[in-house]
Amino acid sequence: MNPNHPAPIAADLAQPRWRDDLLREYADLGQKLAQTLPCMEWQMQLPWIDAIVQLKKQRGATILAHSYQTPEIFHGVADVTGDSLALAQVAATCESDLIVLCGVHFMAESAKILAPHKTVLIPDPQAGCSLASSITAADVLALRAAHPGVPVVSYVNTSAAVKAESDACCTSANAVQVVEAVAAEFAADAVIFLPDRFLGSWVATQTDVKLILWHGQCEVHEKFTAQQARHTRERFDAKIVAHPECPPEVLAEADFVGSTSAMGKWLAREQPQRVAMITECSMADNLREQFPQVQFIKPCNLCPHMRKITLPNIHAALLHRQFAVEVAPEVAARARRALQRMLAVGRREAA
């Protein structure tokens, strides 16, 4: 199909409506969704899910969804789910030229940077991130001026412009390895690490490289408290698994500290009877299905930016081919270099 002249869309796909046969057709999905959504709620999602599934086939699109997306998106319409790094890599390697990224804006930008010739749509371009908005490219230049010769590692939760001023990117899954690799490559004993001060202070406990930190914080993870984690352990006899974007006193209470992807691997390895996931609360909802024998206790903080992505706006994205993410080619080229330095560390570790 010529992507500039897509085939006309049937009226019932443009305006999803209830049909009784949806219950039968999506019986398996219904079972998954019923674990987390009340009956009326998940049934009301089926017309949207059905229209999106058909539209994406007609458009030849691939839908990528972050692990923090709601269960109806994660289980209902996504072709691939994962953390921000995995999604950007799939965007670059999958066969489809049209990607719908269900996540926040920096994730869609990363996908576009790694797949510059593809169309990357984000259903709501206002889906931001408190970490990404805590720092600008001018701030990075000021940090470099204040610390001449010190290399810069930036978390992927940053704008393309900030990535372009960085030497390497990292995710919470590979931050320690990237910091050490960059320090070795630049023969430096210190690295500027931005923008998350909590992730940075956790990385500093795992390496001898000195870290110069910025003051960004995730508005979701900063809300968790040590008392909440302690109470959950004592009251429910639960293992505590925490994301490194949480404050240090919360991490000190955790049985395991790890990234979005590392948390899933830890669960598969340890198979705890009860676990509290100290992270965005859709994670537990989405993992429940994979680990039916584990009881999930959900201290629940929702990311308001992730919640901006909904079935109706995914549907509108496919229908109207909106909103395409654009990154200026010169910014994208420099940001890509920083992302590729991170990917090279991953390849060296795997070798």
Q: Which two tokens stand for residue 40?
A: 């009326």
Counting contacts by CB under 6 A, is residue 218 touching ligand 13P? yes
Counting contacts by CB under 6 A, is residue 196 touching ligand 13P? no
In 138-157, which positions are buried (b, 16+ CB within 10 angstroms) versus exposed (e)?
ebbeebbeeeeebbbbbbbb
Task: Supply the minimum distance, in Å, between the C-beta of residue 123 and ligand SF4.
Answer: 15
Task: Supply the minimum distance, in Å, between the C-beta of residue 68 and ligand SF4.
Answer: 6
Q: Which is nearer to ligand 13P, 29 or 169 (CB)?
A: 169
Task: Supply the minimum distance, in Å, between the C-beta of residue 220 and ligand SF4.
Answer: 4
* Contact between 154 and 169 (Cβ < 8 Å): yes
With CA atoms as reference, report the closest residue to 248 among 196, 301, 198, 178.
198
Strands of the sheet with 98-102, listed across from one edge: 80-82, 61-66, 98-102, 119-121
Tell me whether residue 208 is exposed, middle or buried, using C-beta atoms within 10 angstroms of its C-beta: 0 to 12, 13 to 18, 19 or more.
exposed
Which residues does 287 contact at the CB level (< 8 Å), separation at least 6? 263, 264, 267, 277, 294, 296
Q: From the list 159, 171, 177, 286, which residue makes contact with ligand 13P (rule: CB under 6 A)?
A: 171
Q: Which is nearer to ligand SF4, 98 or 303 (CB)?
A: 303
Counting contacts by CB under 6 A, is residue 110 touching ligand 13P? no
Q: Which is nearer to ligand 13P, 62 or 282 (CB)?
A: 282
Counting contacts by CB under 6 A, is residue 222 touching ligand 13P? no
Q: From the list 36, 70, 84, 134, which residue makes contact with ligand 13P (rule: CB under 6 A)?
A: 84
Task: Supply the minimum distance, in Å, between the C-beta of residue 186 and ligand SF4.
Answer: 27
Q: Please report, as ranges, the residues that interact with ligand SF4 according to CB under 6 A.
A: 104, 129-131, 157, 218-220, 245, 280, 303, 305-306
Residue type, 296: F
Beta bridge partners of 275: 239, 296
DSSP 196: B
Task: Supply the minimum distance, in Å, between the C-beta of residue 224 and ligand SF4.
Answer: 12
Residues that bind ligand 13P (CB under 6 A): 66, 83-85, 156-157, 171-172, 218, 245, 259-260
